Chains A and B, each alone.
Chain A
């Protein structure tokens, strides 16, 4: 039996907007095991980002239980949650969120700067290793604003890997990219999956479910389906067959 990385029970998240209460999550339960590549799907406003933010310890649920890597997150203070984010979670955003005017290497080093257990030497070594993994070994000293969208997202992925997180959380990671670049990024995710990383990939694009090992669909803050995929398609193959744009 694989290790439980994420376990949530009846998770609810309500927002108070003026006099109204917006129920973004209405009771969600699932367990994600080590080595899964889970896509979370749903239309815009179905609660995907809210769920991901909660899993990423950025947001706290209104009610329900959450265990990350066996630790109860509920009741943790702000600083403790910041520490959890720093040590156990790798975030990837739709708009990359790299520091401007800053090299790829420095961007990737960033999470380790907030971990005093990591020396400057180890920091650079680990960042270089991660950049090599995402195929940017030759562009370490390029500034973020001199890179294409696909390259920037690769830097962001390297940054999410650098702290050896127990889980990688991606919110619409291919949302800003063209089809070809999307598939190259998806190829990278599949490779990470094969290497044993645990990934949650939020997207509103149903097609992407074909490339993950499990797909959870949300609607109006509830799970409407939770299915394993026995026939994972190769993103790399699609990528190869896509015509190179002029």
Chain B
């Protein structure tokens, strides 16, 4: 018996029951659509994290005050003051793996220029910040080492702040603005970067010498963190070890004492976020997969009904020479056609859903070709698995009894 004839027979049989056929497919369509959309969301967010990380510099290392909080132990305010400018200076002097390094100390407040004001932060950094974060000054210039030394009252503004404080389009360079009560001279404007892949405005930023923030704004002797970049991103591990050594020595920690600072590398962070988002994706895909399973059961259900309904037809086919194998193949083809057609429509639905998600919610999405291939393969498999029992049932019918069936 040739399979192409059985194909014709199966297509014809399905065509006789279009509505039922479509409703049966619907389960698979929704299941596959959901799987595709979920995986697209997962893949999209993974990609955006990756992009974000490389945007920020994958060789970046951040040092925070206080011990490792991953264990969930609460931090006292003392713990938050363990990093001092001396730590930064020690790293600057002693480390061989660090390319650039800056202390960070931020103050929140209101930026004011005459009648215009804008709530934001003053980020206290040194001159190397620009290299670490891969930023540039597009107008004017960055503050100097000397400005840092003297805690000069100067600032470099991001585009968002410029737009809000100088709405008329006046040149901000040389103008004096206030942050809280402190007058600062604008000496530069940062290059425009727009929103990052996580939707943060990268131009809502104002850089001030960290000494200015410490002495004139916050009046503190500690810093909130240190950002550094490793010379070689493949040597992040060694760099972290070196930093740990230098800081422990500097803090005079005994061997039995835990670190009173925390070091995070961008790579580590990336892995952490990645594994979280992978887990999330798997969870979503599993839920979607269950709906696919339900779709498969729907196919089996309808095929069983169909075999019962068409008992006489099966009896007739057998009496004119169809073998059990022919009957089995015909019904298997029918269920595979339902599941594969459903799968193809499901892929289409998934693609449309993904596109809508991107359009409406503006989420980063990406359909991975492997997810399409996977769901297609799963559909074919579902057709075979869930079609097998009804098909076997049909092929085992006794022709005499089947043809008499009312």
Contacts and interface: CB of A to CB of B under 8 A. Distances in A.
Nearest to B17: A101
A113 B5 contact: yes
B54 interface: no
Contacts of A106: 12
Contacts of B321: 82-83, 85-87, 111, 114-115, 163
Contacts of A82: 318, 321-324, 326
A110 B314 CA distance: 12
Interface string A157-180: 001000100000000000000000
B325 to A, nearest CB: 7
B257 to A, nearest CB: 83
A165 B400 CA distance: 20
A56 B325 contact: no
A238 interface: no
A159 B320 contact: yes
A1 to B, nearest CB: 30
Nearest to B16: A101
B400 A116 contact: no
Interface string A87-109: 10001010001011110001000
A101 B312 CA distance: 14
Contacts of A97: 312, 315-316, 403
A84 to B, nearest CB: 8
B319 interface: yes
Interface in B1-55: 1-2, 5, 8-9, 12, 16
23 contacts: A53-B400, A56-B319, A58-B318, A59-B400, A78-B324, A79-B323, A82-B321, A82-B322, A83-B323, A85-B319, A87-B321, A91-B320, A93-B316, A97-B316, A99-B313, A102-B12, A102-B16, A114-B1, A114-B5, A114-B321, A114-B322, A115-B321, A116-B5
Interface of A: 53, 56, 58-59, 78-79, 82-83, 85-87, 91, 93, 97, 99-102, 106, 110-111, 113-116, 159, 163
Interface of B: 1-2, 5, 8-9, 12, 16, 312-313, 315-326, 399-400, 403
